[in-house]
Chain A
Amino acid sequence: MSDSIIEIKNVNKWFGDFQVLKDINLEVQQKQKIVVCGPSGSGKSTLIRCINRLEEHQEGNIIVDGNELTEDTKDIEKIRAEVGMVFQQFNLFPHLSILDNCTLAPIWVKKMPKKEAEELAMNQLKQVQIVDQANKFPGQLSGGQQQRCAIARALCMQPKIMLFDEPTSALDPEMIKEVLDAMVNLAKQGMTMIVVTHEMGFAKEVADEVIFMDEGMIVEKANTKEFFANPKSDRTKLFLSQIL
Chain B
Amino acid sequence: MNKLNFLKPDKENLTTYLYSGAFLFLIAILDVFLGAFFEINITSFLPDFISFILPFILGVVGLHLIRIEFSGINNLDLLNKKINTNNFNAVLTLLIIFIIIKSIPPIMSWFVLDANIAGDTKEACTGSGACWTYIKIWLRRFVYGMYPNELQWRINISFVLLIALAFVGYFATEKLKKFLTLYYVIIYPIIAFILIYYLISGGAFGLVWVETGAWGGLSLTFIVSFFCLIFCFPLGMFLALGRRSVLPTVRYISIGFIEFWRGVPLITVLFMSSVMFPMFLPEDFFMDKLVRVIIAISLFEAAYVAEVIRGGLQALPRGQYDAAKSLGMGYWKMHIFVILPQALKLVIPGIANTFLALVKDTPLIFVVGLLEIVGMLNLAKTNPKWLGFAMEGYVFAAIIFWIICYAMSRYSQNLELKYKTER
**A interface residues (Cβ-Cβ under 8 A, vs B):** 49, 52, 54, 77-78, 80-85, 87, 89, 91-95, 104-105, 108-110, 137-140, 150, 153-154, 157
Task: Assess whether B325 is in contact with A108, with CB atoms less than 8 Å apart.
Answer: no
Cβ–Cβ < 8 Å partners of A95 in chain B: 341-342, 345, 419, 421
Least CB separation from A104: chain B residue: B337
Task: Assess whether B327 is in contact with A87, with CB atoms less than 8 Å apart.
Answer: no
Q: Which of B319, B329, B338, B419 touches A87 (beta carbons < 8 Å)?
A: B319
Q: Which of B322, B329, B333 touches A91 (beta carbons < 8 Å)?
A: B322
10 closest residue pairs by CB, A with B = A139-B422, A81-B328, A91-B323, A105-B327, A91-B319, A85-B326, A80-B328, A109-B328, A77-B328, A77-B330
**Distance (whole angstroms) from the CB of A144 to the closest CB of chain B:** 17
**Distance (whole angstroms) from the CB of B337 to the closest CB of chain A:** 6
Cβ–Cβ < 8 Å partners of B330 in chain A: 77
**Distance (whole angstroms) from the CB of A238 to the closest CB of chain B:** 32
B320 at the interface (CB under 8 A from A): yes
Cβ–Cβ < 8 Å partners of B422 in chain A: 94, 137-140
Known: A95-B342, A109-B329. 14 other contacts (CB 8 A): A77-B329, A78-B328, A83-B326, A87-B326, A91-B323, A93-B320, A93-B324, A93-B342, A94-B423, A104-B327, A105-B327, A105-B328, A105-B329, A150-B323
Task: Assess whether B421 is in contact with A54, with CB atoms less than 8 Å apart.
Answer: no
Task: Assess whether A54 is in contact with B322, with CB atoms less than 8 Å apart.
Answer: yes
Q: Which of B322, B342, B345, B421 touches A137 (beta carbons < 8 Å)?
A: B421
Q: Which of A52, A85, A109, A150 touches B333 (beta carbons < 8 Å)?
A: A109
Cβ–Cβ < 8 Å partners of B419 in chain A: 95
Cβ–Cβ < 8 Å partners of B342 in chain A: 93-95
Task: Assess whether B323 is in contact with A87, with CB atoms less than 8 Å apart.
Answer: yes
- How distant is the Cα of A150 from the Cα of B342 in the complex, in angstroms? 18
Task: Assess whether A81 is in contact with B345, with CB atoms less than 8 Å apart.
Answer: no
Q: Which of A52, A110, A140 touches B326 (beta carbons < 8 Å)?
A: A52
Cβ–Cβ < 8 Å partners of A77 in chain B: 328-330
Cβ–Cβ < 8 Å partners of A82 in chain B: 328
Task: Assess whether B319 is in contact with A89, with CB atoms less than 8 Å apart.
Answer: yes
**Distance (whole angstroms) from the CB of B138 to the closest CB of chain A:** 49
**Distance (whole angstroms) from the CB of A126 to the closest CB of chain B:** 20
Cβ–Cβ < 8 Å partners of A89 in chain B: 317, 319
**Distance (whole angstroms) from the CB of B345 to the closest CB of chain A:** 7
**Distance (whole angstroms) from the CB of A69 to the closest CB of chain B:** 13
Interface flags, B126-147, vs A, CB<8A=1, else 0: 0000000000000000000000
Interface set, chain B 324-369, CB cutoff 8 A to A: 324-330, 333, 337-338, 341-342, 345
**Distance (whole angstroms) from the CB of B417 to the closest CB of chain A:** 14
Least CB separation from B329: chain A residue: A109
Contacts A91-B319, A94-B342, A108-B333 given: A157-B423 contact, CB under 8 Å? no
Least CB separation from A55: chain B residue: B322
Cβ–Cβ < 8 Å partners of A49 in chain B: 322
Task: Assess whether B329 is in contact with A139, with CB atoms less than 8 Å apart.
Answer: no
Cβ–Cβ < 8 Å partners of B317 in chain A: 89, 91
Task: Assess whether A84 is in contact with B326, with CB atoms less than 8 Å apart.
Answer: yes
- How distant is the Cα of A187 from the Cα of B287 in the complex, in angstroms? 67
Contacts A94-B421, A108-B333, A139-B422 given: A80-B319 contact, CB under 8 Å? no
Least CB separation from B345: chain A residue: A95
Interface set, chain B 33-50, CB cutoff 8 A to A: none
Contacts A95-B345, A139-B422 given: A80-B326 contact, CB under 8 Å? yes
- How distant is the Cα of A82 from the Cα of B323 in the complex, in angstroms? 14
Least CB separation from B341: chain A residue: A95
**Distance (whole angstroms) from the CB of A39 to the closest CB of chain B:** 23
Can you offer 23 A-B residue contacts whose CB atoms are under 8 A? A49-B322, A52-B325, A52-B326, A54-B326, A80-B325, A80-B326, A80-B327, A80-B328, A85-B326, A87-B319, A87-B323, A89-B317, A91-B319, A95-B341, A95-B421, A104-B327, A105-B328, A108-B333, A109-B333, A138-B422, A150-B323, A153-B327, A154-B326
- How distant is the Cα of A243 from the Cα of B67 in the complex, in angstroms? 62
Cβ–Cβ < 8 Å partners of A81 in chain B: 327-328
Least CB separation from A54: chain B residue: B322
**Distance (whole angstroms) from the CB of A145 to the closest CB of chain B:** 14
Cβ–Cβ < 8 Å partners of A80 in chain B: 325-328
- How distant is the Cα of A84 from the Cα of B338 in the complex, in angstroms? 17
**Distance (whole angstroms) from the CB of B225 to the closest CB of chain A:** 29
Cβ–Cβ < 8 Å partners of A94 in chain B: 342, 421-423
Cβ–Cβ < 8 Å partners of A140 in chain B: 422
**Distance (whole angstroms) from the CB of B161 to the closest CB of chain A:** 33
Task: Assess whether B319 is in contact with A139, with CB atoms less than 8 Å apart.
Answer: no
Cβ–Cβ < 8 Å partners of B341 in chain A: 95
**Distance (whole angstroms) from the CB of B339 to the closest CB of chain A:** 10
Cβ–Cβ < 8 Å partners of B423 in chain A: 94, 139
- How distant is the Cα of A157 from the Cα of B323 in the complex, in angstroms? 13
Cβ–Cβ < 8 Å partners of B345 in chain A: 95
- How distant is the Cα of A186 from the Cα of B320 in the complex, in angstroms? 24
Interface flags, B239-275, vs A, CB<8A=1, else 0: 0000000000000000000000000000000000000
Interface flags, B401-423, vs A, CB<8A=1, else 0: 00000000000000000010111
Least CB separation from B318: chain A residue: A91
- How distant is the Cα of A139 from the Cα of B420 in the complex, in angstroms? 11
Q: With a 10 A CB-CB cut-off, give which of B323, B338, B421, B422 has the most chain A CB atoms.
A: B323
